[in-house]
Amino acid sequence: MDSMDLQVLQALQDWQRQTQPVWLVTVGQTFGSSPRPAGAMLALRGDGLSVGSVSGGCIEDDLIDKARAGELNQHQPQMLSYGVSRDEAQRFGLPCGGVMQLIIEPVPAAASWPGDVLTSVRQHRLLARCLDMQTGQVRLQDARLSDEFSLNDQQMTAIHGPRWRLLIIGTGQTSEYLAQMAQALDYQVLVCDPRPDMLQTWSVADCQLLDSMPDDAVLELQVDGRTAIIALTHDPKIDDMALLEALKSPAFYVGAVGSKKNNASRRERLAMFDLSAAEIARLHGPVGLAIGSKTPPEIAVAIVAHLVQVRSQLAQTQAIQKNTMVCQ
């Protein structure tokens, strides 16, 4: 399952071969509440066809009208602002006080960067795309996990590629559903299962498969704060090996499948291996939000929902800390 960014980039590349003008619309800045974050993208064609999203729909409708009417610049980037007045915010469905600034970027038929970015992202590389706001020229360069979307009068820098990683311990139906959903959220998915022949049954494309022991897989991954590790084998001999290393790592999320009773026993076992109480407390077990999930796809939905929740809470905490540092 491709992420929305990949779908947008693929649409750009496909439409370049046609006669219609093509634009990439990117959320540049937001002030107050906004339905989409900075960096969100929309591919737009001259006849009004679009892929992606920059709002709840009303702004997209206005952009489509402008494209059909020939009101969008076909030669260099331009900036449009929505929600500057209260009436305009209501018209375009923006929350009270919300202002959104968009970069409208024409994509010439001869531009090679959409294909180059697609290739890089599908190879799980992180790429920075730098747009000259005056000339429309695009430059590509390798990016780091810490790099963020940025915009000033001279340049927009957008980050493309899987900025988050998910290590799944164990194959199976739940793992496959989870992998597909995680890919749609721009995770690079790695799957580890040391059991002979288990990886041969894996059917989800674009995942890195590991047949090493789980603890070795965690150590070799060089886990950072953008990594989640989830054990799904139901086999303590395998799951616990991964958790012993994962709970000592900087991973932002560590979880294990199983009932409350099984996870209570798991915590007792982990305590016997010199993990601290604080480290054991990091374990999300049973994994996922408590939504009454029973089937493999429902369990995967619960896990992904919890990943989204924890990531959002982490982002809010970091934003508060950043603002506090600026004010000091």
Q: Give DSSP secondary structure letters for 91-144.
A: HTTPPTT-EEEEEEEE--TT--HHHHHHHHHHTT--EEEEEETTT--EEEEE--
- Residue 1: the pLDDT is 53
- Residue 228: the pLDDT is 98
- Residue 87: the pLDDT is 67
What is this structure's pTM?
A: 0.74
- Residue 186: the pLDDT is 85
Phi–psi pair at 151, nearest 5 degrees? -150, 135
- Residue 146: the pLDDT is 77
Whether the CB-CB separation of 91 and 83 falls below 8 Å is answered with: no
- Residue 317: the pLDDT is 72
Instruction: Spell out the domains of the chain, with CATH numbers in brackets.
Output: 4-160 (no CATH), 164-310 (3.40.50.720)
Compute the Cα dihedral for 41, 121, 175, 177 and give only its sign.
Answer: positive
pLDDT in tens, the chain (328 residues): 557 888 999 999 999 988 899 999 999 988 766 678 889 999 999 999 999 999 877 889 999 999 999 999 999 999 998 876 666 666 666 655 578 899 999 999 999 999 999 998 877 788 999 999 999 999 999 998 778 899 999 999 999 987 789 999 999 999 999 999 999 898 999 999 999 889 999 999 989 999 999 999 999 998 988 899 999 999 999 999 999 999 999 999 999 999 999 999 999 999 999 899 999 999 999 999 999 999 999 999 999 999 999 998 887 776 555 555 444 5
